[in-house]
Chain A
Amino acid sequence: MNLNATAVVTGAARGIGLEIARKLISVGWTVAALDLLEDDLKKSAEELGESYKPYTVNITDSKQLAEVAVAIGNDLPAVKGIVNNAGVTRDALMMRMSEDQWNLVIDVNLTGTWKVTQAFMRSLIRAREGSIVSISSVVALVGAAGQTNYAASKAGLIGMSKSLNRELAGRGITVNVVAPGFIETEMTEKLSEEVRGNYLSRIPAARLGLPVEIAEAVAFLMSSSAKYITGIVLPVDGGLTT
């Protein structure tokens, strides 16, 4: 199956973003994979083949983004999907958090998402169809000590998406948020047994989630089965926030 449509996926070189790219390609999307990590992009491109189009870009850099948007517009099928997945953490208790730590996380996770969405949304408006999915976090809903910056950025995505939904829903464009719980990634692999056990005790499903389980939710929200689902926050968290 080939949808003859491009999904722009940020942070697509590895982790959850790579799984999202893999899943979207499997259901017929061409994926424009945006990431800072050039080597990981190359590796993933070798693995996923010609439907995975790597673009090395810093999403906080408007000029770079504009250039990439032109290149994608010229080279790939029409953009009808945007997945805002790129994100960083700079954890610290608020009393000790530097302004740099705050700013970086807000710049990448929130402002970067705004920039990417703005850079590509016109293509969806023209097509009068498409979907935008932003990856938030359960932390936006329940909070986490040491993550005031991250939680604020991820909660910001929710307000942004709900507002953008009111601008775009009349054009047949869906705007949704997926809020992953604790997912098996390189980040959670590094956790101590104690912290891991502490997480597990809070998850009704009694296990961490898999990246592919986030990808499945994203692909569903971007599918024709979900045309009437818009403006929602979908937790994929094993019941953590329920």
Chain B
Amino acid sequence: MSLENRIAEIIVSRLNVKPEEVTDSASLKDDLGADSLDMVDLMMDLEDTFNLKISDEEGNTLQTVGSVVSFLKTKGIEA
């Protein structure tokens, strides 16, 4: 499965949204309805899934689906 698809799957299950809503430019908070607790839960899920640490500062930059994908790529995660 591609990195994009794996991330989309996590977002769909955590935020209870439809797969077609999870586009590259979709804002996690504004478009997908994540509140602060969802964001923390999502970050912890990404940490567990991809076995990495996400600092609070890094977490704050993850505003859109696309930014999550590119962030993980900068961490060397491809799939």
Question: Hey, which bits of chain A sit against chain B, CB under 8 A?
Answer: 122, 125-126, 167-168, 170-171
Q: A168: which B residues are within 8 A, CB to CB?
A: 37
Given contacts A125-B41, A171-B37, 7 further A-B contacts (CB under 8 A): A122-B41, A125-B37, A126-B41, A167-B37, A168-B37, A170-B35, A170-B37
Interface Cβ pair total, 8 Å cutoff: 10
Distance in Å from the Cβ of B39 to the closest Cβ of chain A?
12
Q: Is B26 an interface residue (CB 8 A)?
A: no
Q: B44: which A residues are within 8 A, CB to CB?
A: 122
Interface size class of B (residues with CB under 8 A): under 10
Distance in Å from the Cβ of A230 to the closest Cβ of chain B?
15
CB-CB nearest in chain A for B35: A170
Distance in Å from the Cβ of A88 to the closest Cβ of chain B?
31
CB-CB nearest in chain A for B14: A126
Question: Hey, which bits of chain B sit against chain A, CB under 8 A?
Answer: 35, 37, 41, 44
Task: Please give me the 4 A-B residue pairs with the lowest Cβ-Cβ distance, nearest first.
Answer: A125-B41, A167-B37, A125-B37, A171-B37
A167 CA / B37 CA spacing, docked (Å):
8
A171 CA / B44 CA spacing, docked (Å):
17
CB-CB nearest in chain B for A128: B16
Q: B35: which A residues are within 8 A, CB to CB?
A: 170
Distance in Å from the Cβ of B42 to the closest Cβ of chain A?
11
A113 CA / B70 CA spacing, docked (Å):
38
Distance in Å from the Cβ of A139 to the closest Cβ of chain B?
32
Distance in Å from the Cβ of A55 to the closest Cβ of chain B?
22
Distance in Å from the Cβ of B10 to the closest Cβ of chain A?
13
Most buried by A among B35, B37, B44: B37
Distance in Å from the Cβ of B43 to the closest Cβ of chain A?
12
CB-CB nearest in chain B for A126: B41
A142 CA / B44 CA spacing, docked (Å):
40
Distance in Å from the Cβ of A125 to the closest Cβ of chain B?
6
Q: B37: which A residues are within 8 A, CB to CB?
A: 125, 167-168, 170-171
Distance in Å from the Cβ of B60 to the closest Cβ of chain A?
18
CB-CB nearest in chain A for B44: A122
* 7 contacts across the A-B interface (CB closer than 8 A): A122-B41, A122-B44, A125-B41, A126-B41, A167-B37, A168-B37, A170-B37
A126 CA / B37 CA spacing, docked (Å):
11
CB-CB nearest in chain A for B16: A128
Distance in Å from the Cβ of B35 to the closest Cβ of chain A?
7
Q: A170: which B residues are within 8 A, CB to CB?
A: 35, 37
